[in-house]
Structure 1
């Protein structure tokens, strides 16, 4: 039986205090089509625990398991092999049950882990300093935009067409409440990102330019010229990395002049998990550290000269006065950050470079094979482990048909950009170390049959 401590009169008093006519008013920003108007369909209102377990298991069996079929989905969430030791270690009681350290001095293990995590992210991104993680890549991207506004005191952000549309959507949602102006654009099915257009969009009101690296189509652009243009205009360059494994093979954004680098750490240590929870990565140049959101763990010594760890910087509203906070993010993805850090530690630099090489080689072989399918054209000649194909017809129905045949072929651009005719034939295919030659051949054969 549910425990409901509030009476109807309690609720009425609370609603009157905040000026809301009903509880439904509190959800006005959620689109009506996304709100339930009754109990969840398909679930019994009353049943035994055993009956509920069987019912939920039957629902779960309707899913297609990523590891049981040829799997080529990507676009910001990637299937990589996670060593069993990662899951074993994160389930140790001191990690699994520990909450965020409000008395940090007594949580030395947690603080040391976060310190090592920060060190790994900073080195991976080629930046001076990283924080102790964010919710996910999309919210980290938005936090970077607001950070750029605080630093430059400008309110316009230029968003590359190669930025993941879900990240753009999050930014649009948040900008409604901050007044930031977002200059957005769509990607084009071209071999190279349109860097010149981004440079041309920079003006005296631009706080930052946001680019994804590699971008939503898998393209790898040289950020150096864009970084130089940003510096000349006192505009910050924000780079978004959704596939951190790529940085084992390509230059880091920091090396090319990015001021802030954010990203999604899911690919290392964290499974697909139906879209979450994930772990946001955030790093910047040293000069901007006091405007960085979240928390920063530091290394120090105690009164006896022994090595120890502390919360060096806490600019979130739980630690300081709300009006001085850089963010209202109230936690960090500590367990997912731990999984990321353990996986990175197991790999080491040599292992990460080796994993990246395996991913790239497998992707090149897959691209070559799929390009032999009649009517299929490879759009991105240079990529890491994700590339875009142009099909001779709309990609969405092709993907659905292939899924019915037990092949998860990739992500159609028509799904990401509904209503955009110029993109509807695009198919983004991701290949990792988990992809076999048999998987590639199954996709190529099924694709050729469906397109015939």
Structure 2
């Protein structure tokens, strides 16, 4: 029996209210080539539950899982070892529905966890205050851009070419659908990410400069230099970090002049799960800006008896305050992912994170040295953490597909991230974490040598 609670008159009434002629009008922004013209191939039109389970298992066997291959993919989604303790703790009943805690008197565990999470993110980023999480890194980046516009009362931003293209795309989409009183320019510079070309574009109308650290190609920009140039013009520096483990080895962005630091927390505590759920991190260096920070902030206090307690100190979302005063429409913090991040970070501790970062960098250096010996391969980066770009003597995308057929996930072709070309067709982004062995590196080197010969 199908469950269809709305009648056709119900649908028509809603369409009339919003001024749409049909349901199809709601999907006008989806390119027509992405519409299905029939049932999904491989799935039966109708079947019993057991038959569906068998069919889905058959389809799942077509996947090549990260754990079953020599795995070198990254580009914003990272495979790190997640201790079993993390999964055990996040499945406890008091945490499993870790949404925004409306009633502090019965949500002390969740509130305390978010308070500790905020502390960990603030220390990781070198910032004064972190919020209780965002949806993911890309939307956190957009929220930072909007916050910078509110603070500076300017609407022009500069975004380095080193920022992940998906983050750029989210910013462009959000700018397009932001109410008309906000009008953003999104010049994306095709230049080296930290340097004269970017700095030379900062002017008196610039609200913020957005730089990724390390950037999409694994390079490490000079944040202090960019921060000084931005501040001289009254602009803010927003730093994006997609690999938090890198901050176990690199200086925290907040210590290098960043005003707002945002990023993706998936790499710590949250495994690769077909693109989600993810975890947005958001922190600021100036406490005076806290009331313009989106999302929620948990604080520590004492109750009437003087006992330690936790409360939802700041909530700037639409459900809590008038819409015109809200600084964010975010509805649910990624509470369960934030918990996983916090548990994993607690297990690591400061020394553990530093050791993990050192092992990532050691293996990445070993991989870069070995792969550069392969004929037809050169390493683009002068410096990197655990991610670097190879330049091949052939287009990278067919090579990646050929190696995947042989059980080697060689990395992410830059042609996939930058489909418009820009001379990056031969680029291959390789990521090396502690889950990669030296045997895996040798397997990749030999597979590349064979494919490029």
Which range, TM-score by smaller chain?
over 0.9
C-alpha deviation, 1:32, in angstroms: 2.1
Q: Which residue does 2:376 correspond to in 1? A: 375
Matches for 1:83-94 after TM superposition, within 5 Å:
83-94=83-94
Q: Which residue does 1:290 correspond to in 2? A: 291
Out of 364-373 and 219-228, give the one that drifted further. Answer: 219-228
**TM-score, normalization by structure 1:** 0.97
Q: Which residue does 2:126 correspond to in 1? A: 126
C-alpha deviation, 1:8, in angstroms: 1.2
Q: In 2 relative to 1, CA 287–336 (structure 1 residues): closer, same or farther, beyond 3 Å? A: same
Q: Which residue does 2:200 correspond to in 1? A: 200
Q: Which residue does 2:247 correspond to in 1? A: 247
Deviations 1:216-254 (A, max 9, x none): 111112211111111111100000000000000010100
Distance 1:304 1:37 in 2: 65
C-alpha deviation, 1:194, in angstroms: 4.0
Distance 2:97 2:151 in 1: 37
Q: Which residue does 2:209 correspond to in 1? A: 209
Q: Which residue does 1:304 correspond to in 2? A: 305
Distance 1:406 1:289 in 2: 48
Does residue 180 of structure 1 match 2:184? yes
C-alpha deviation, 1:421, in angstroms: 4.7
Q: Which residue does 1:140 correspond to in 2? A: 140
Q: Which residue does 2:355 correspond to in 1? A: 354
Deviations 1:38-90 (A, max 9, x none): 43332112101110000011111110010011000000000000000000110
Q: Which residue does 1:231 correspond to in 2? A: 231
C-alpha deviation, 1:37, in angstroms: 4.0
Matches for 1:378-417 after TM superposition, within 5 Å:
378-417=379-418
Aligned length in residues: 448
User: Tell me, what secondary structure is at the counterpart of 2:211?
Assistant: strand
Please provide the CA RMSD for this pair: 1.1
Distance 1:143 1:225 in 2: 24
Deviations 1:153-183 (A, max 9, x none): 1111100010000000000101112321111
C-alpha deviation, 1:19, in angstroms: 1.4
Q: Is the 8 A contact 2:189 2:198 kept in 1?
A: no
Does residue 424 of structure 1 match 2:425? yes
User: Tell me, what secondary structure is at the counterpart of 2:207?
Assistant: strand
**TM-score, normalization by structure 2:** 0.97
Q: Which residue does 1:61 correspond to in 2? A: 61
Where has structure 1 moved over 4 Å in runs of 4 or more?
Answer: none
Q: Which runs of 5+ in 2 are unaligned?
A: none
Q: Which residue does 2:162 correspond to in 1? A: 162
Deviations 1:376-405 (A, max 9, x none): 111102110001111111111111111111
User: Tell me, what secondary structure is at the counterpart of 1:290?
Assistant: helix
User: Tell me, what secondary structure is at the counterpart of 1:428?
Assistant: strand
Q: Which residue does 1:331 correspond to in 2? A: 332
Q: Is the 8 A contact 2:159 2:188 kept in 1?
A: yes
User: Tell me, what secondary structure is at the counterpart of 1:353?
Assistant: helix
